[in-house]
Amino acid sequence: MAFSGTLVTRGSAKGVVIGIGESTEVGRISGMLEHVEELTTPLLQQMDRFGRWLTGVILLVAGLILLLGSWWQHMPFNELFIAVVGFSVAAIPEGLPAVLTITLAVGVQAMARRQAIIRRLPAIEAIGSVSVICTDKTGTLTRNEMAVTSVVVAGETYEVKGRGYSPVGQVFHDGAPLDSSGDNMPSPLAEAARTALLCNDSQLRKKEGDWQVEGDPMEGALIAFAGRVGLDLEGERAHWSRSDAIPFDSGHRFMATLNHDHEEHARIFVKGAPEQVLGMCDRERGEGDRTLSLDADYWWEQAEEMTSHGQRVLALAERPVEASHVVLEHHDVEDGLIFQGLVGLSDPPRREAIDAVAECRRAGIRVKMITGDHAGTAKAIAAQVGLENSADVITGAELEKLSDEELKRAVLSTDIFARSSPEHKLHLVEALQSQGHSVAMTGDGVNDTPALKRADAGIAMGQKGSEAAKEVSDLVLADDNFASIVAAVREGRTVYDNIKKVISWTLPTNAGEALTIIVALLAGMTLPVTPIQILWINLVTATSLGLALAFEPTEKTAMQRPPRSRDDPLLSHGWLLYIAVVGLLFVVAVFGVYWFAIERGHSVESARTMAMNTLVVLEIFQLFFIRNIQGSSLDWAALKATRPVWLAVGGVVVAQLAMTYLPFMQVIFATEPLSLGDGGLILAIGLLSYAVLEVYKLAWNRLAAR
């Protein structure tokens, strides 16, 4: 069977089409995508609930104002309608949607600087709420820079050292270096290196002083190994010309080449998985040119030992054939090969990935590795990067045998999934989500698309990822680095904190404005602030002050808190009490200033100007208070604030001065100029409100600590 999208490497054939469209393997994956439910981000769910709740409250209160105003106060409908409009303008946070969008956009910009490209705006907050990160191993947790570090041939173990993919390095035996330029290099080792070089489709190129691989990184590491052993890379390839090859395939798990030299000798060189190559051999290479009976048990022990150190193990074999042999078939390598030895390749963990995993653990985020590598290799790498449970592994074959309930239990305790296929990722995501977890999933292939779409945060690889994976993902890693995922989580939490600050600043100020209208109506008084003045405060002043909170830096405790639940409310009961306290404080201050101005003989317009400016000053001090809601706002770091905060405050002060003193603004908003003494009184009231809120915060935090 040949699937659509298969590349033919050699030969010719005729085929019968038995399935098209949805009946193909690619069509099956497309069908899986159609049935995968894409979850709404926690923020959108919370904002939807919050919007419904706020709308209901405002409509209910507006209705009550109409009833009380007409039945109790017997107000004329025109005045009552204007009052209701004023209340609605005061209560509805008109600038909130714009500020929230800008806050998300600021986070997108910050993530882009961290090599994480957001494809959907709400996803920036979703990545900040994840409780589990399912990640690939190669290239994400590791450097994707393969290097041969150990070789076992003819019963001896050798250590290979070198830098990057440079073919220059050193070989050690029992801690002593071998001379690769003389006769000190054992012939079994040199023969194994020749097989690694010739059974190879990649090239090493030196670019700008650095050796780089053109082809597969693993094959590049084998070429570098051959150079470090002392082989002349170009000379060997010129001497042993290739006449045919069997390319590597995951089905037969080996690669073989047929090479001829100038002296009319021919040899078959093979490299592949140890379990596959051992079954194709009946002899092994000994010292010198001797061959011995194959000791499979010994080689299995050596392979397990290398795997336990996190190495990827390859087996090498060869077989002399007649010079007339020019075509290589599968039956030529099925048996009769001479086993040469094992090479262990290491792909060391990224240093930044180790630090990032540790940061995830502090933040209460569980990291799970999903890899196609051997279980032993996966365990070793997991231990090196510091996964929480690096002792237990579930393979893909074991995964398929588990029932749904068994999978749900296993996925919570197990952090390593080895020999896994991309199809397994979807099952793991669904199992974790069924346990209430918010899941981030990495992927790069077409087969990964269902899992990426289903995950709360789908993360595609920017360097090795397919276009299909990028298309369905929420986030693309430009550097394929796990540390960039953790940086994105940190930015996501920062965005959520800033959104919460914006809402926590907006609602109390709007509540204060709305309560001012309600109290005036219930008391049968003249409105201390007109509807158009409140509209000015909400649209111009409040929006610019709220926008400053979008640029707040990451809090020190951002990655020391556990992930929030999808069901957590946007505002808790403590916040509702805080909104009530601030609203009451605003009402007392605004009415106090208004009555004081009237008693001093000010006109209604002048008293309203003082009341309106008092509202704005209270909102400015509220901004400084809300920036550091957890700790004291009286230290220098909190008072110093950020540049956007001071720009916003400066802009608001200039706007209020213009509204108060410019003649054309006075005509539009019915304001009058204030004296220096009036301004000092307003500023003093702002400072007093700040002190009251600090006392409230201290009392609340002590109560919460108990």
Q: What percent of the chain has pLDDT over 90?
A: 40
Are 555 and 701 within one domain? Answer: yes
Domain that holds residue 510: 59-115+489-559+567-705
- Confirm whether 471 is domain-assigned: yes
User: Does 476 share its domain with 508?
Assistant: no
Looking at the structure, tell me whether residues 392 and 310 fall in a common domain: no
Number of domains in the chain: 3
pLDDT of 657: 94
Task: Looking at the structure, tell me whether residues 330 and 244 fall in a common domain.
Answer: yes
Same domain flag for 434 and 539? no
> What's the pLDDT score for residue 685?
95
What's the sign of the alpha-carbon dihedral 479, 481, 485, 487?
Answer: negative
- Spatial CA neighbour of 449 closest among 25, 125, 126: 25
Structure tokens at 22: 């949805």
Rounded average pLDDT over 518-531: 80
Classify residue 202 as exposed, middle or buried by CB count within 10 Å of its CB (0-12, 13-18, 19+).
Answer: middle
CA–CA gap between residue 562 and residue 66 (Å, rounded): 46
- Same domain? 493 vs 442: no
Residue 564 has what DSSP assignment?
A: P
Mean pLDDT within 551-573: 79
**Average pLDDT value for residue range 182-204:** 88
Q: Answer yes or no: are the C-beta atoms of 530 and 670 closer than 8 Å.
A: yes
Is 136 an active-site residue? yes
CATH of the domain at 530: 1.20.1110.10
Which of 480, 508, 539 marks a domain boundary? 480
Q: What is the DSSP letter of 540?
A: I
pLDDT score of 414: 93
Tens digits of residue pLDDT in 140-181: 888 878 899 999 999 999 999 998 899 999 999 988 888 766
The domain spanning residue 189 has which CATH number? Answer: 3.40.1110.10
Q: Is the pLDDT score of 10 beyond 70? A: no
Weakest-pLDDT range from 25-34, 266-275, 435-444:
25-34
**Phi-psi map region of 493: left, alpha, beta (phi>0 left; psi -120 to 50 alpha):** alpha
**Residues 269 and 377 both lie in one domain:** no
Res. 285 pLDDT band, cuts 50 70 90? very high
Query: In the structure, what pLDDT confidence band is assigned to residue 637 with cuts at 50, 70 and 90?
Result: low
Within a domain: 3: no
162 & 300 share domain = yes
Residue with tokens 């219930």: 522
Q: What integer pLDDT is reported at residue 184 of this predicted model?
A: 62
Q: Which of 136, 480, 497, 678 is catalytic?
A: 136
Do 316 and 190 reside in the same domain of the chain?
Answer: yes
Minimum mean pLDDT range among 178-182, 457-461, 616-620, 650-654: 178-182
Residue 294 CB neighbours (<10 A): 16
Mean pLDDT of 188-196: 95
| Average pLDDT of the residues of the chain | 86
Of the listed ranges 31-40, 258-267, 294-303, 344-353, the one predicted with least confidence: 31-40
Q: What is the pLDDT of residue 27?
A: 74
Strand partners, 292: 284
**Per-residue confidence band for 34, with pLDDT thresholds at 50, 70 and 90:** low
Identify whether residues 325 and 418 lie together within a single domain: no
* Residue 76 and residue 167 in one domain: no
Maximum distance among all Cα pairs of the chain, rounded to whole angstroms: 117
User: Which amino acid appears at position 235 of this protein?
Assistant: G
Residue 420 lies in a domain: yes
The mean-pLDDT minimum among 189-198, 228-237, 638-647 falls in 638-647
**Paired residues of 442 in beta bridges:** 459
Q: How far is CA 193 from CA 161, 220, 512, in A?
A: 14, 13, 79
Q: Is residue 287 situated within a structural domain?
A: yes
Please give, one letter per residue, the 3-state secondary structure of 338-394: EEEEEEEEECCECHHHHHHHHHHHHCCCEEEEECCCCHHHHHHHHHHHCCCCCCCEE
Residue 422 to residues 92, 277, 411, 548, Cα–Cα distance (Å): 48, 26, 16, 43
pLDDT in tens, 490-521: 998 998 888 888 888 888 888 888 888 888 87
Q: Does residue 6 belong to any structural domain of this protein?
A: no
Q: Taking 80 as the threshold, does the pLDDT of residue 339 lie above it?
A: yes
Q: Which of 298, 320, 345 is the last residue of a domain?
A: 345
Position 180 in a domain: yes
The residue with tokens 């405790």 is 557
Where a domain ends, among 310, 330, 345?
A: 345
In a domain, 41, yes or no: no
Crossing angle, helix 604-626 and helix 643-661, to 10 degrees? 180
Query: Quick check: is 42 in a domain?
Result: no
Q: Span 334-343, mean pLDDT?
A: 95
197 and 317 both lie in a single domain: yes
The rounded distance, in Å, linking the Cα atoms of 594 and 305 is: 83
705 φ, ψ to 5°?
Answer: -65, -30
What is residue 9's predicted lDDT score, i.e. its pLDDT? Answer: 65
Q: Which CATH number characterizes residue 404's domain?
A: 3.40.50.1000
Beta bridge partners of 339: 284, 317
**pLDDT of the residue at 132:** 95
| pTM, two decimal places | 0.73
Find the length of the chain: 706
pLDDT digits (tens, 9 = 90+) for 575-622: 778 888 888 898 899 999 999 999 999 999 999 999 999 999 999 998
Query: Residue 166 burial by CB count (10 A; 0-12/13-18/19+): exposed, middle or buried?
Result: middle
Average pLDDT over residues 315-333: 93
